[in-house]
Amino acid sequence: MIDNVVAGTHKVEIVAEGREPVSEEIDIAKDQRRFVDVKLRYALPRVVAAEKEQTLAQDAPASITVITADEIRGFGYTTLAEALQSVRGLYTTYDRDYATLGVRGCSSPGVYNSRVLVLSDGHITNESSLGQGYVKTDARNDRSRRAIERLGARLDGVLRSFQPGADGAPRDTAYYTVLQSEWPSVKGALEKKLG
């Protein structure tokens, strides 16, 4: 209760940790007591996506799932693969060596994943045990290879007849990596190019 409020129209904003803020305009007459009844909804996750500014996850131009620390503790997840199994449209497979991730019918079981980039606070975490992230392209695609190299990734090698090309014929695949120690300069170059 707030006493001695001047008569007139007032904006009341209610803020509570872990809840969405609520704002209402109320009219108060002289010597009147006014009650405000509001529902404090749980706070919606906010993310920084393609538009590079904080926005509600539901409004971001992407499919976003936020797995909170409370959820990780509550469900007892011990690996990234376990946590990602809870995300709609994703599945994981485990061949007793590696856990791999698939997306709605892509990335068939047994094919080590290279189609999903996992970032943590903007840092590549794919192959984090090796301190590197990788990207691959058709070895015949000179334009893509030059673009990848301009970003700062280095060619690790070419796997011959590694997978089918767009025409169905076996194609060579060029693999590039960015080491964890190289990421700050690669990230800086990306930010500079994107403005």
- Residue 188 domain-assigned (yes or no): yes
Q: How confident is the model at residue 119 (pLDDT cuts 50, 70, 90)?
A: low
* Separation CA 157–CA 30 (nearest Å): 80
Task: Answer yes or no: is 176 within a domain.
Answer: yes
Domain count, the chain: 2
143 domain residue, yes or no: yes
| Domain membership flag for residue 116 | no
pLDDT at 74: 92
Per-residue pLDDT tens for 34-46? 788 888 888 877 7
Averaged pLDDT, 131-153:
81
Here the tokens at position 79 are: 């690996």
Task: Find the domain containing 185 and state its range.
Answer: 123-195
Are 118 and 87 in contact by the 8 Å Cβ rule? The answer is: no
Residue 21: the pLDDT is 87
Within-domain flag for 179: yes
| Predicted pLDDT at 116 | 63
CATH code of 134's domain: 3.40.630.30
